[in-house]
Amino acid sequence: MLNQSSLSSALTVFFLGCLIASIVRYLKVKREKTRLLKELENQRSANRALKRQLAENESRLRVIIESEPELVLLQDADGKVLEMNPAGLSIAGAEIPEEIVGRSIFSIVAPEFRGSYKTLSKAVFRGEARILEFRVVGLRESVHWLEMHAFPIRNVSNCIMALTGIARDITQRKHAEEAAKRHQIELAHVTRLTTMGEMASGIAHELNQPLSAISNFADGSLRRIRRNSARQEGLIEALEQICHQADRAGHIIRHMRNFARKRDANWTQVDINTVVQEVFRFLEPEARQNCIVIRLELASEQPLVSGDFIELEQVMVNLVRNAMESIIDSTQEGREICINTTADMPKIVEVSVADNGPGVPPEVAKQLFDPFYTSKASGMGMGLSISRSIIEAHEGRLWLSQTKEDSGARFVFTLPAISAM
């Protein structure tokens, strides 16, 4: 009995024990589940918040970009426009985004800038940031100047996905710059005319030499023919001289006409030595008449510069004529002007015009480059002022380099060389 009852009580205890254990486990699991569910719920709500946050951020960014007055552009490596903000659409002349989005950016880049834009695009897709000024001809023919900052956008795996371009409309600035350039060109022209006026008597003399030689040769030939004393070889030589002297006169006139002509800027690759030689040919006779020797010291290998030949020539004419005027009155023996060109420094071409006259007094040197400042009775006082603005428009510098007062004046200008010869 005892055994039976003890067995049953043992079983009871056992079952009870099991039951309790199960209950405990159940409770544990349930608690765990609740915790997990809660955690999940927390996470979900965090995600929701994050999404909301992201959406908010995105819409905020979008609002910023959309309302941005500058052009904002996303573009792929082939130049296909992925996105463009309304300011961009307006510059591009697009009425709806589809007119430009999905199409090539090159449909609005002005032809002369397509090359440099391609270079920029390639650089960005190599991972570089670049800046470019270029002209845009919109879909409806409106023209804008843009200054664009372009940089790459990368995805999570650090691959470049697109080019981002942010561009400012600099049309007004460009127009102002162009107007300033036009004024400078006009002023340069007017001062060239003034210079020509000052040189008129010298030029007349220069023309007189070949003209009187021509008429002497012609008259001498006629007299021989009329007197039947003409020898054919002699006549041929005289006629050749007539042709040669006519060419000489023609060259002077052509040169004068080019120098005086009103013209647009014409930038080419210029060899500064050629400019110096042309000016030498132009001014040497006048110098010789005044017993001045012009010595040329030209660099044998000279990189080219980018510029307007006539304007650079004008600067040289101004400097050499100033030098001549400063030594004409000097009683010094051996009046001399030395024109030197060097390309010692990399990427810089340097030209100097030095005379052995009395030099520039310090009080004059201070105002030398001011417009309308002149130490001469005749002359407008624009020579050095316009020369400096021409050189500065060529991204160079012009200054007076004078060590001692008695060693004469030396004017120097530098111009950036076109990279590598």
For another protein, the binding residues (CB under 8 A) are: 201, 204-206, 208-217, 219-221, 223-224, 227, 229, 234, 238, 241, 244-245, 248, 288-289, 291, 293
412 membership: H or E segment, kind and range:
strand 410-416
In angstroms, what is the minimal distance from the CB of 412 to another protein?
Answer: 28
Distance CA 408, CA 226 (A): 57
> 284: burial class by Cβ within 10 Å (0-12, 13-18, 19+)?
middle
Handedness of CA 63, 67, 70, 75 (dihedral sign): positive
Q: Which residue has the tokens 């709806």?
A: 96
**If DSSP states are collapsed to H, E and C, what string results for 174-224?**
HHHHHHHHHHHHHHHHHHHHHHHHHHHHHHHHHHHHHHHHHHHHHHHHHHH
Please work out, in degrees rounded to the nearest 5, the angle formed at the alpha carbon of residue 116 by the alpha carbons of 308 and 89: 115
In the bound state with another protein, the residue whose beta carbon lies nearer, of 378 and 419, is 378
In the bound state with another protein, the residue whose beta carbon lies nearer, of 65 and 296, is 296
In the bound state with another protein, the residue whose beta carbon lies nearer, of 220 and 379, is 220
- Give the residue ranges of DSSP H helices in 265-369: 272-289, 309-328, 362-365
Distance CA 283, CA 319 (A): 11
In angstroms, what is the minimal distance from the CB of 388 to another protein?
Answer: 32
In the bound state with another protein, the residue whose beta carbon lies nearer, of 212 and 401, is 212
In angstroms, what is the minimal distance from the CB of 216 to another protein?
Answer: 3
Residue 202 makes CB contacts below 8 A (sequence gap 6+) with: 285, 286, 289
In angstroms, what is the minimal distance from the CB of 321 to another protein?
Answer: 17
In angstroms, what is the minimal distance from the CB of 352 to another protein?
Answer: 24
In the bound state with another protein, the residue whose beta carbon lies nearer, of 221 and 314, is 221
In angstroms, what is the minimal distance from the CB of 174 to another protein?
Answer: 49
Q: What are phi and psi of 341, to 5 degrees?
A: -125, 135
In angstroms, what is the minimal distance from the CB of 211 to another protein?
Answer: 5
CB atoms within 10 A of CB 60: 10
* CB-based contact 83:107 (threshold 8 Å): no
* CB-based contact 105:73 (threshold 8 Å): yes
In the bound state with another protein, the residue whose beta carbon lies nearer, of 184 and 241, is 241
In angstroms, what is the minimal distance from the CB of 320 to another protein?
Answer: 17
In the bound state with another protein, the residue whose beta carbon lies nearer, of 171 and 209, is 209
Bridge partner list, 270: 305
In angstroms, what is the minimal distance from the CB of 335 to another protein?
Answer: 10
In the bound state with another protein, the residue whose beta carbon lies nearer, of 135 and 224, is 224
Least Cα distance to 146 among 165, 163, 133 occurs for: 133
In the bound state with another protein, the residue whose beta carbon lies nearer, of 301 and 333, is 333
